[in-house]
Structure 1
């Protein structure tokens, strides 16, 4: 794949470290790995609403040791979901947010995350869920391989719920290095039978500490065969942490990406458009 176009699209003030993104009805939803809020941006009138997910006052600057580390966002029917990374024990919480009532319900993911680590023989040093999406009736939880084992794992979760009635299996993927640094999944979204993902590289072997940003790539996985289809580097100096679909056809797709610049003083989220020519790549 050689044809892609990455352009700056929107700048949204009032958001620090955007890490997950959704899109519907000309509106954007965002979560931040530094905060406890769900951000709802209305493109037409350039306005932003903030909703607390945990019942506490909205806080854009939670401390590293106490934050939920919300890394994933997904829309399922009338519910918006945000998920903590599980990279420390206090980051094992998710939230279900009803987009009509604006009511948030916490989800304790401790059992699920513990089973994922046990089943795949990962320690807490290698566990870091950066993406959650759905495929048919299954949940897909995707681990970023930025720990010692570079464990880029895709967990398939089946069952009635995510707390105490589920089955798990997983697949491991080898992703290319970016500027000689191993890359790890940072978010993903599904179109038909294909998982489109972004991955990033940081010069730090840790799921907890940030390192120097070495770039990002875009790629795709065939979910029927669980086969990596392609990857393409899209930046040498940006860390893209969220992806969602804006437009799609048989030959091309347009995605929205959000960036985390690892700068706590930055109070503005920049949203990008990534246009990809898929002709000949996806069947």
Structure 2
């Protein structure tokens, strides 16, 4: 068992259903699965900037049938990325956002997602990309197993780009149940050769509909061996959907978590700290 401490840290007004998070220089970057925006929160002066990804006005609450379902956020150098889940046709979209120019470029992920499903024999009802991050030169697209197959997969994508010059392979993982309900990946972040991830459980076998929240767990995967190192339940009530690193040393890491509580009327998101004592076992 790993020692951990979960505490609420910040409350940010103006974000609905936070689903991905990044941190640097005392600032947070967030995306929402209900929105077309990148949210840039400045911790020091408690201010929030919003930038549209698609040149349309910022919409914090897009209709379920038309939203991009942006479930993941990641950073490479000066570019910030957000990716749709692929759970419906209009969700096969990603965005590249330059943090200096604030200019956004759309990425069509239709072919990539189609090949992922074909290669892994996943139907539309089992395909739901919740996490995109990088490991060395590779992209990791992580599928949440909340369909009938409970397909918790990591797709490793290699190549020059994500549209027409790539190859892929994948690994399948068995995650523990949370309160007797199957859990699925919801986000992850890489440190050296380890993927630290969160997973959630909902009492609904659907990539489209939300179910009753049954809790969240935290765990780690050795990316060299593609083997789960540990898992630990961290909540019976929270649906954590974003994780990033706040600070670390050889024995401890403090992560930042965001959550989606499936309440469309709630205009305030709570940011949490998860302090983990790894006893020097960071790989």
What's the TM-score bracket when you normalise by the shorter of the two chains? Answer: over 0.9
Mapped pair 1:63 → 2:63: yes
Cα deviation, 1:123-178, whole Å, max 9, x if unaligned, reads: 01000000000000000000000000000000000000000110000000000000
Name the SS of the counterpart of 2:38 in structure 1: strand
Normalising by structure 1, we get a TM-score of 0.99
Name the SS of the counterpart of 2:90 in structure 1: helix
Instruction: Give 2:259's aligned residue.
Output: 259
Mapped pair 1:74 → 2:66: no
What is the CA–CA distance in structure 1 between the aligned matches of 2:154 and 2:55, rounded to whole Å? 31
CA shift at 1:244, angstroms? Answer: 0.3
Aligned residue pair count: 283
Instruction: Give 1:249's aligned residue.
Output: 249
Stretches of structure 1 lacking an aligned partner (at least 5 in a row)? none
Instruction: Give 1:28's aligned residue.
Output: 28
CA shift at 1:102, angstroms? Answer: 0.2
Mapped pair 1:116 → 2:116: yes
Instruction: Give 2:134's aligned residue.
Output: 134
Instruction: Give 1:105's aligned residue.
Output: 105
Cα deviation, 1:161-216, whole Å, max 9, x if unaligned, reads: 00011000000000000000000000000000000000000000000000000000
Name the SS of the counterpart of 2:125 in structure 1: helix
Name the SS of the counterpart of 1:48 in structure 2: strand
Cα deviation, 1:243-272, whole Å, max 9, x if unaligned, reads: 000111111100000010000000011000
Moved over 4 A (4+): none
Normalising by structure 2, we get a TM-score of 0.99
Instruction: Give 1:42's aligned residue.
Output: 42
Stretches of structure 2 lacking an aligned partner (at least 5 in a row)? none
Instruction: Give 1:279's aligned residue.
Output: 279
CA RMSD in angstroms comes to 0.7
Instruction: Give 1:173's aligned residue.
Output: 173
Name the SS of the counterpart of 2:82 in structure 1: strand
What is the CA–CA distance in structure 2 between the aligned matches of 1:281 and 1:218, rounded to whole Å? 15
Instruction: Give 2:221's aligned residue.
Output: 221
CA shift at 1:2, angstroms? Answer: 3.2
Instruction: Give 1:16's aligned residue.
Output: 16
What is the CA–CA distance in structure 2 between the aligned matches of 1:162 and 1:278, rounded to whole Å? 34
Name the SS of the counterpart of 2:220 in structure 1: strand
